[in-house]
Amino acid sequence: YAVLRSGSPASWTPLGGHLGGAGTATMALVASTAMLVFARQVAAAPRALRAGLLSAVLFAIAFCALRLGEWESLVRAGRTPSSSTQMTLYFALTAVHLLHVVGAAIALVWLAFTIGRAPAPARSAAIVTRVNAVTLFWYFVGVVWLAIFALLYVAESLIPNP
């Protein structure tokens, strides 16, 4: 990011006008994480676990919808991946992140509908292990988003152009 930004011939336009939408999307990811924390706490109760996992998926879908809405807004304004190095980097980072969110959501749906299929004697341990693995990946996705958010929306508004 720093190398591309400092070497860019054109000055970068802050995405501060989209800070509200990005902040709302961030809150959707935080809410999704909270639902996963709840799901981990009730892992022994299949119905509550399923509700927590599917609630997390709903917040992940909200995040995706908000991101796609922002992309559409930027494209309508002529800020496409081919318009500048900044927008190429923006779309690349957010697209790769969005793919990870979708992958995690798919894993959560799979988990929600397979929690009852583990063999009976080891069901509890198997469920807890699966929930922990998917939750760990979700935490990673969330931390990466916080870094992207700080870099593209907050710092971009604060760092003067070279």
The answer to whether residues 137 and 104 touch, using CB atoms and an 8 Å cutoff, is yes
Q: Which class for 36: exposed (0-12), middle (13-18), buried (19 or more C-beta within 10 A)? A: buried
Query: Tens digit of pLDDT for each residue in 20-40?
Result: 889 999 999 999 999 999 998
Query: Tens digit of pLDDT for each residue in 78-137?
Result: 999 999 888 999 999 999 999 999 999 999 999 999 886 665 556 677 788 888 999 999
The answer to whether residues 43 and 127 touch, using CB atoms and an 8 Å cutoff, is yes
Q: What tokens were used for 148?
A: 């992207």
The answer to whether residues 124 and 69 touch, using CB atoms and an 8 Å cutoff, is no
Please name the residues in contact with 60: beta carbons below 8 A apart, sequence gap of 6 or more: 28, 29, 32, 101, 102, 104, 105, 108
pTM (2 d.p.): 0.88
